[in-house]
A and B are shown apart, each in its own frame.
Chain A
């Protein structure tokens, strides 16, 4: 099946610093990538949808200036958490779709990145 990787798998940073998380589709071209966050014992909440070469679409309540998303190629999307604070500590998961249309469930998830902000 399709493989999506994330790097790093875990990151600990100081409050006020910026953190970049990479999401890569390893064996397919991802026209659309999604970024989710998941708090402990909580569901996945969609943060934004990004299409290759265009600006990301953010969900209501997600600060686009704080969570910068770049989808510069068909195999790579990055999420940068700017000026991170302890409340940004969470599990961040990306997913990727290989077709611009298709069904919502035709997306493959990465293994997630655990961010801890001290």
Chain B
């Protein structure tokens, strides 16, 4: 079993829709939960990170962490064609230097 599971998609939605992306994990030591966006042939860029459980909002993006279920989500409101990319979840334990990534979900927003 992989430490982090993420549905690779692809996921295609119309412009303006609300997008929900999710990851599950098995390692209860994970305390930091990140979402990265990766455009084709580019390196990942950090969108949001959350420490422990709870919600975090940044503009059109909301990250949620449910440690009891080992489940994290990223919501994108009012999705735009420019949001089309691969979204990777990543996690790390307290004091760890390493990130453990999910497989990434390829998202396409159709105009």
A residues lining the B interface (CB < 8 Å):
4, 6, 32, 34, 41-46, 49, 91, 93, 95, 97, 103-105, 107, 109-112, 114
Contacts and interface: CB of A to CB of B under 8 A. Distances in A.
Contacts of A42: 103-104
Contact of A4 (B34, B41, B43): B43
B44 interface: yes
B46 to A, nearest CB: 6
B101 interface: yes
The DSSP consensus for interface residues of chain A is strand
Contact of A105 (B6, B90, B103): B90
Interface of B: 4, 6, 8, 32, 34, 41-46, 49, 88, 90, 92, 96-99, 101-104, 106
Contacts of A104: 32, 92, 96-99
A43 B41 contact: no
A105 B43 contact: no
A43 B101 contact: yes
Nearest to A97: B97
Which of A44, A45, A91 counts the most B-chain CB atoms under 10 A from its CB? Answer: A44
Given A105-B49, A109-B44, A46 B98 contact: yes
A59 to B, nearest CB: 9
